[in-house]
A and B are shown apart, each in its own frame.
Chain A
Amino acid sequence: MDLQLSVELGRGLAFTGAALAFALGGCGSAKGIGIASQEAAGVLSEKPGLFGRLLVMVALPGTQGFYGFITAFMMAQQTGLIGGTVNVTPGTGLALALIGFGAGLALYVSAVNQGQASAAGIALIGRREDAAGRALLFPALVETYAVVALLAAILFILWLTNSAETSNVLEYIRAAQ
């Protein structure tokens, strides 16, 4: 395969992975916050004094969007897409695309479900203000799996991009040409 084409393909796939990670994470967060906001707005229409407590619950599903951004940034940085020489083989690029998709999907699903769990917590606070602490706990548990997805994505990106084979393959192709 032509070196230029190989690097282009690798870069394109790496970009795809980064795009999937932040797009799915961001969409999930937007949807999750939307779900929780509707419930919170309903509670606030009757009890405006609960704004402070409900804001935390509404903001909870927003973290997945940031995790998606971190994943995308890591991919870009480790593969030289930001300010460096791009050294991604097509195989590594495909792996990064799949990591981006996997992490993005986990972030999307967890954000939407966290939005629903937050909505349930908000409903509980609306009914019993003294339950605010416990109501926060359940949506926070959903966060665990978003954090796991982020950690897994970071580790896989580091393992993939730091391995010697990636640069060796490119060196080999360069030498061959």
Chain B
Amino acid sequence: MIALTPFNPDWGFVCGRVSTLEARLLTPEFFNTMVSHPKLEDVMRQLQDTPLRDFAVSGADFQDWSGIIDQYFHDLVKSIRKDCPNPAIANLFILRDDYQNLKIAVTGQNTYPFPSATLEPEKLAGVSGGDASHLPSPFREAASAALASVEETRNQQMVDVVLDAAYLRHILSLRETTKSELVRTYIEDFVLSHALVAIWRRYETGVSAKAIQRYLIPMGNLTSTLSAVLNAGEPSNWPDVVRGSIGELLRQAIEQDESDAARRFEDLSTNHLVAITQRGQGQVSGPERVLAYLRTLASEAHNLKLIVCGRLSRIEPDNLKRRMRVAHG
């Protein structure tokens, strides 16, 4: 069992906030009821009973709710980050948006649809113009590599590979900002599982392992594992080279869902990450408590978006239930 860090009064304020916010988390019953409503209007009515109502503008359509959920999640995480002695814990959940915006900026576009975590639109505008020198590190290096890739290949998929790798390297570097064993384990498993999904998705679209390897490696202490995966060929061989719980989840995903095992692995690994963080709920004041809340909040946002988008696309409730992630409200 991973040990929690000792009581740390510096985290008292944010953990006090988190205590009250935990009371607002949605329960599994809430999601089950929501997914089972026969009419879209009932789903919408139920959404109005959540903290999301403060973010909903009057006359918001059902299609608008996905954006409202994103905004709610992003704003809440950013406001918690302000109170955290170590902002890295919150950054784990919102840095992705900056990298998504960077993906758009390096292709020369000027509209950035994702809410900004650290990179303001003014900074991204420079990247759209082909200059990344004004960005803070490690964004600068990532954007420069992506701009070079655009010049070289003119291939959006390779830009995605470059920036996904840079994002994961950035997340892995956050591990050094904390002594919490639980947070460090979470970061390592997060990066490994996301790197595997990224490789899997590229593999499915026919991008060569060599091209992925060029940008994904090195990846800290995960370099040898990821190199072995890239050299192992078919995903069915991967469980033999990935050790520990992530390797076991790979095996389960391949056995359970042959049609879309990558998605199944994504869900299983997210549930595994939620399970790692749950121990932090028992801490009164420390980074693990905040991590546990934010992880649950992220799963909650995922489930809400899944239901909203799934109901709009007329996906069967049973299918949606299967894809919902564990969110301990």
Contacts and interface: CB of A to CB of B under 8 A. Distances in A.
**What's the dominant secondary structure at chain A's contact region?**
helix
Interface in A108-140: 116, 119-120, 122-128
Interface stretch (A7-15, A36-44, A74-82): A36-44
Interface in B259-307: 284-285
Interface string B1-27: 000000101101111111111110000
A124 B13 contact: no
A34 B285 CA distance: 13
Given A120-B284, A126-B20, A127-B20, A42 B9 contact: no
Contacts of B131: none
Q: Which of B12, B22, B83, B284 has the most CB of A within 10 A?
A: B12
A38 B12 contact: yes
Interface residues of A, number: 23
A122 B16 contact: yes
Contacts of A44: 16
A35 interface: yes
A125 B83 CA distance: 20
Interface in A139-176: none
Contacts of B17: 42-43, 45-46
**What's the dominant secondary structure at chain B's contact region?**
helix
B13 A39 contact: yes
Contacts of B7: 35, 116, 119
Given A39-B284, A39-B285, A42-B83, A127 B12 contact: no
Nearest to A31: B9
Contact of A119 (B20, B23, B83, B285): B285
Given A34-B9, A35-B9, A42-B83, A116 B16 contact: no
A125 B284 CA distance: 12
A65 B312 CA distance: 62
Nearest to A116: B7
A51 to B, nearest CB: 13
B79 to A, nearest CB: 10
Contacts of B23: 126-128
Contacts of B15: 39, 42, 119, 123
A125 B23 CA distance: 10
Contacts of B9: 34-35, 38, 119
A82 to B, nearest CB: 37
Contact of B20 (A35, A38, A47): A47
Contacts of A128: 23
A49 to B, nearest CB: 11
